Amino acid sequence: MSLVDLIIPTYNGREHLRTCLLAVQKQSASGVRVVVVDDGSTDDTDRMMSTEFPEFDYLRLPGNQGFAAACNAGIAAGSAEFVALLNNDAIPEPDWLAGLLAGMERHPHAAALASKILLADGSGRIHAAGDTFSWAGLPNSRGVWERDEGQYDTEESVFSACAAAALYRREALNDAGRINGDPFDADFFMYCEDIDLGWRLRLLGWDIVYVPTARVKHHLSATGGGALASYYVARNTFAVLAKNLPDEIQSPIWRRFLRHQSRQMLDAISHAREPAARARLRGILAGPRFARQQTAKRQAIQRSARVTIEKITEQLSLLSQDLS
């Protein structure tokens, strides 16, 4: 049996996927089963997999179901103790996965480990050193756009892990999945599904740790970005709050969040000629309805919580950013 199921979702990203898989072939870790989950690509990804990478498992889904659903399908198709997720436009260093596995040994109470993700454009800038969640209800990538000068070289707890390059303990994924049926919420389609999972894991009492020596370069949003990202981030953030915030902290966070969204709406309207601004506006307008659809999920999540409100408040204060 494999120690790790390494899952790589892909959708019409053949050329980036090829570069990713060539880097995966150089991983120093052993006991790794690689599963490429094709979310309905139409760019001959299937032919490339059969001719160039026959040693890797290839799971093709019937149509584009979204990043979250593709991750769930890959997780369900395996049984290894650990589950690694890697974007098709990410390029891991040779010791990336070995470094994360060593981190799991050091942190037996960690549900997930976050990587140091750098932009692949040669700028030396950071995409994510773990994820944060602010008292204004906003998720963000820790260190995003900063030049990497060693300021995030400490192994430490973070609020959540960016699923573009992360390692999860299957036990923890199963723990979270028992609440709503799957580890990731497929209704999100893409974006914010990782911070949503991070919330559930923390409410269940798991830790999440950043491992700076596990390094990946990322072609940011090469498969999904621009207007697509603007819409889903704006819409899905509403659902993250609606599902996960404990009753005691709902009111102050929602107030700050809605003030921020009002400013975002005005900004989007003033830049309405830009596709990303229009998409963000559509996402904000769709957000409240999407949030109202989370009632049953919220009830199940809050019933399952194992941490006190004092503990989650402490984690928000220590591990997050106040962007209000």
Q: What is the pLDDT of residue 191?
A: 94
Supply the pLDDT for residue 324: 43
pLDDT score recorded for residue 316 = 85
What are the DSSP calls for 45-87, one per residue? Answer: HHHHHHHH-TTSEEEE-SS---HHHHHHHHHHT---SEEEEE-
Interatomic CA distance for residues 237 and 244, integer angstroms: 11
Rounded Cα gap, residues 197 and 307, in angstroms:
16
What span, in angstroms and rounded, lies between the C-alpha atoms of 226 and 191? 12
127 touches 117 (CB < 8 A): yes
Do 208 and 159 meet the contact criterion of CB atoms below 8 Å apart? Answer: yes
pLDDT at 323: 43
Helix (H) or strand (E) holding 199: helix 193-203
> Residue 214 gets which letter from DSSP?
E
For residue 218, the cross-strand partners are 90, 119
CA distances in angstroms from 247 to 43, 97, 176, 243, 302, listed in the order given: 46, 38, 20, 11, 9
Query: C-alpha dihedral over 253, 255, 258, 263, to 10 degrees?
Result: -110
Structure confidence at residue 322 (pLDDT): 53
User: Average pLDDT by consecutive 10-residue portion of the chain (324 residues)?
Assistant: 93 95 97 96 94 97 94 96 97 98 97 97 94 93 95 96 97 96 95 97 97 94 72 97 95 95 94 94 97 96 95 84 50
Sequence spans of domains, the chain: 4-218, 227-304
Domain 4-218 has CATH 3.90.550.10: yes
- How far is it, in rounded angstroms, from Cα 54 to Cα 292? 45
Nearest to 150 by CA among 213, 208, 88, 194: 213
pLDDT at residue number 1: 72
Q: Give me the pLDDT at residue 101, please.
A: 98
